[in-house]
Amino acid sequence: MDAYVFVYGILRGMNAYVFVYGILSGMNVYVFVYCILCGMNVYVFVYGILCGMDAYLFVYGILCGMKVYVFVYGILSGMNAYVFVYGNLCGMNAYVFVYCILCGMKAYVFVYGIVCGMNAYVFVYGILCGMNAYVFVLWYFVGMNVYVFVYGFLCGMDAYVFVYGILWV
């Protein structure tokens, strides 16, 4: 009599019992909805993880404003594209930047850093990843002339430095 017990527990305000009983009875969707209605956010998140309800959990975390949880959960679940878009929409630039680095998404990191104005981070990242041409062009557009000149010299980009020096003067 699972459904009856579940409803009875709800009507009598027996939240903890209902939660445990629903889990033991395999009533995942009911428990999930019940936790949402009762405002039991942490329980919902943990329960959703244990039951593998990724899509529901991701949406739920977004609706409840649980930014950090959603971001970390998305990473652990391998939902790269969703995490990237979500981080952008929530203004979590630093998180997105680090996430892209950890996932090896070099092009995204470079472009994203530029768009967000994170020039210093982009420069260091580009140098460490050996993206010489990208760094050179970016510095040129940002107007960091001395850096471009020195960097090009150190990287052995003589032709670039020579042409750049002519244009700069």
pLDDT tens-digit series, residues 111-120: 766 766 666 6
Instruction: Give every CB contact of residue 92 below 8 A, 6+ residues apart in sequence.
Output: 67, 71
Q: What is the model's pLDDT at position 96?
A: 72
The whole-model pTM stands at 0.38
- Give the N- to C-terminal CA distance of the chain in Å, as an integer: 85
Q: Which of 123, 152, 154 is nearest to 164 (CA)?
A: 152
Task: Tell me how far apart the alpha carbons of residues 40 and 32 are, in angstroms, rounded to a whole number.
Answer: 10
Q: Is the pLDDT of residue 169 over 60?
A: no
The type of residue at 66 is M
Rounded average pLDDT over 102-128: 69
pLDDT tens-digit readout, 28-75:
677 767 776 776 666 766 766 666 666 666 676 666 666 666 767 666
Q: What is the model's pLDDT at position 145?
A: 65
**Contact assessment for residue 83 and residue 71, using Cβ atoms and an 8 Å cutoff:** yes
Q: What is the model's pLDDT at position 139?
A: 64
pLDDT tens-digit readout, 1-10:
566 766 776 6
